[in-house]
A and B are shown apart, each in its own frame.
Chain A
């Protein structure tokens, strides 16, 4: 019986060692931190937050977070240079779209991380509606 337990523990140990190594050093390891931030947290970053509006141009024109830059996928190549120019390594990018269920901000955040290789890219929980609610 004790031999079986020892063998199980050995197998477990042999599996855990490479798993820990992968989790710590693998270049594509999953993030331990959520990439979502609340309005309160993002606002607490002050001027170091770079707001990026992932909604369509018409929505952006109707209203947006002060200082936000538009970056929707329909005009990605046209709008990306504006975000790149405003970014510096000390800034945190906060991408938002129109509501909790909106996937667009996550897609834009993914592309900023993967294609442009920008660090510190976050998605605003609740999007534009959460921002508006926080102003009331």
Chain B
């Protein structure tokens, strides 16, 4: 008796990338353990940032097929979870759901990227934490602010790995941008920004 069975190697697939990579890629692999060929007919993703592509060929019993997944990384940061719906021509196993989990990180991250002082709030120092990702070698790091009304002090918590950027506004009505420029071995220098607002 003919039967259908489509088994996924994993229903959650993982990828990691940097924002500047442009795309993160992953593969979702399945095996046709049924007794007749199955073809993926369509894929559906939840945003324009994700694409899931198949070669459209029928997968014979016992053979494997795959879905190539790409995720646009430009401008993105953090952990993303994207559901992907796969449709096949098999009426007994018409839909499958898989999940793409992507971690997007810069070699150096600032947290938070906004420091805010409310009206009437004492202009006491606040801190931005600067973290260097594992495996990156920091050769130099610098922090600047074009606004003379903002004092900056960058000091290591663990040299090469974690830094503390202490920000102190000297006046009210400040709207400034802080630029942190890390120099990573083997990488083009890319400045990061954080914002300072004092009402």
Q: Indicate if the CB atoms of B80 and A56 lie closer than 8 Å.
A: no
Assess whether B78 is in contact with A74, with CB atoms less than 8 Å apart. Answer: no
Q: Which residues of B contact A80 (CB under 8 A)?
A: 113, 195
User: Knowing A84-B195, A116-B114 touch, does A103 contact B46 (C-beta < 8 A)?
Assistant: yes
Q: Bound state CA distance, A128 and B78, in angstroms?
A: 24
- Given contacts A81-B195, A104-B49, whether A118 and B114 have CB atoms under 8 Å apart is yes
Q: How many residues of A contact B (CB 8 A)?
A: 26
A88 touches B199 (CB 8 A): yes
Minimum CB–CB distance for B141 against chain A, Å: 19
Please tell me which stretch of B30-38, B69-77, B157-165 contacts chain A, meaning at least 4 of its Cβ atoms lie within 8 angstroms of it. B69-77
Q: Is B193 an interface residue (CB 8 A)?
A: yes
Residues of chain B contacted by A61 (CB below 8 angstroms):
none
Enumerate A93-131 residues with CB–CB distance to B below 8 Å.
Answer: 97, 101-104, 107, 110-111, 114-118
Cβ contact within 8 Å between A116 and B112: yes
- Beta-carbon contacts under 8 Å, B38-65 to A: 46-49
- In the complex the two chains form, what is the Cα distance from A76 to B75 in whole Å? 6
Of B46, B111, B112, the residue contacting A101 (CB under 8 A) is B46
Query: CB-nearest residue of chain A relative to B118?
Result: A89
A36 at the B interface (CB under 8 A) = no
Which chain B residue has the least Cβ–Cβ distance from A89?
Answer: B118
Q: How far is the CA of A113 from the CA of B112 in the complex (A)?
A: 9
Q: Does B197 contact A (CB under 8 A)?
A: yes
Q: Closest residue to A115 on the B side, CB-wise?
A: B113
For B, the interface residue count at a CB cutoff of 8 angstroms equals 26
| Contact between chains at B193 and A77 (CB < 8 Å) | yes
Complex CA distance for A59 and B52, rounded to whole angstroms:
23
Contact code string B165-199 (vs A, CB < 8 Å = 1, else 0): 00000000001010000000000000001010101
Q: Which residue of B lies closest to A104 (CB)?
A: B47
The residue on B at minimum CB distance from A90 is B118
Residue of B nearest to A88 (CB): B199
- Check A115 against B197 for contact (C-beta < 8 Å): no
Cβ 8 A contact of B80, one of A74, A77, A107, A118? A107
Bound-complex Cα distance A54 to B72 (A):
15
How close is A123's CB to chain B, nearest CB, in angstroms?
Answer: 14
Q: Which residues of the partner chain B approach A103 to less than 8 Å between Cβ atoms? A: 46-47, 80-83
Contact A116 B113 (CB under 8 A): yes
* CB–CB A81/B177 < 8 A: yes
Chain A residues with CB under 8 A of B47? 97, 102-104
Q: Is the CB of A115 within 8 A of B75?
A: no
- Give the residues in chain A near B111, CB-CB below 8 Å: 114-115, 117
Given contacts A115-B113, A116-B114, A117-B114, is CB(A107)–CB(B78) below 8 Å? Answer: yes
Interface residues of A (CB under 8 A from B): 56, 72-77, 80-81, 84-85, 88-89, 97, 101-104, 107, 110-111, 114-118
The 10 closest A-B pairs by CB, nearest first: A117-B112, A76-B75, A73-B75, A116-B114, A103-B46, A74-B75, A73-B76, A84-B195, A115-B113, A104-B47
